[in-house]
Amino acid sequence: MVIKTFQKRNVRILLVGDQGVGKTSLILSLVSEEFPENVPAKAEEITIPADVTPEQVPTNIVDYSSSEQTDEELNEQIKHASVICVVYAVDDDDSVDRISSYWLPLIKLSHPDGSCPVVLVGNKIDLVDYSTIDGVYSIMEEFSEIETCIECSAKTLKNISEMFYYAQKAVLHPTGPIYSVDNSD
C-alpha cells in the first residue's frame, strides 16, 4: 500500500487587522525578541528558514499597512496567503467588531471555500486585566475557517512565538471538521 503525504513547500503567514492594533510590532518582536519602541508603518517580508521553525518548514511572514498599500495589493496578499492572522487589540472594541464585519468577509471574497485558515490574535494583553476569548468564541462559531485564537502582547513578548507557531500549525495540521452541518434551511 502506498500512503501519499501532502507536503507544503512553505507557509506564508499574512497579518491583517485595523490600524494600530500592533501587526508590525508583533512581527518585529518575534524577530528581535524585544518590543520595538519605534515601529515603521510596515515590516519587510521576513523569511524564516526551515531549520529554525518548530515544524521545519520555510515560513514567510507578511505585514499589511493600510497607509502604504492599496486595497488591490491587500487582496493580492490575501489570495497568496496560506494562513491569515486577523489581529485585534484587546483594549479596542471596534477592532474586535471589525473581525466579523470587515476582515472575515473580505478574506472570504478571495477564499470562498474557506480554504485559507484564519487565526484570531488579540494583541496588547498587557494593557487589560480581562480576557476577550469568550467574546471571540462566538465569532469562531460563525466562521468555520477560524482555526484558533490566541491572546498575546508584542510589548511583553507573551505568546508571540506561540502565535506564529499556531499559524504554522493551522496550515500543516488543520483541525477543521471533516464534515460541516448545513444549517441554511
Q: Which helix (H) or strand (E) holds 60?
A: strand 59-62
- Assess 161 for contact with ligand GTP (CB under 6 A): no
Report the DSSP pairing between strands 59-62 and 46-48. antiparallel
Q: How far is the CB of 43 from ligand GTP (least distance, A)?
A: 8
Query: Which one of 21, 57, 116, 167 is in contact with ligand GTP (CB under 6 A)?
Result: 21
Nearest-10 crossing angle of helices 160-172, 23-32? 100
The neighbouring-strand residues paired with 119 are 85, 148
- Assess 154 for contact with ligand GTP (CB under 6 A): yes
Residue 84 cell numbers, joined: 491569515
Q: How far is the CB of 181 from ligand GTP (least distance, A)?
A: 35
- Assess 123 for contact with ligand GTP (CB under 6 A): yes
Query: Which one of 41, 49, 79, 174 is in contact with ligand GTP (CB under 6 A)?
Result: 41
- Assess 169 for contact with ligand GTP (CB under 6 A): no
Q: Is 39 exposed, middle or buried (0-12, 13-18, 19+ CB in 10 A)?
A: middle
Nearer to ligand GTP, 23 or 57 (CB): 23
The C-alpha cell 493600510 sits at 66
Q: How far is the CB of 63 from ligand GTP (least distance, A)?
A: 7
Q: How far is the CB of 139 from ligand GTP (least distance, A)?
A: 19
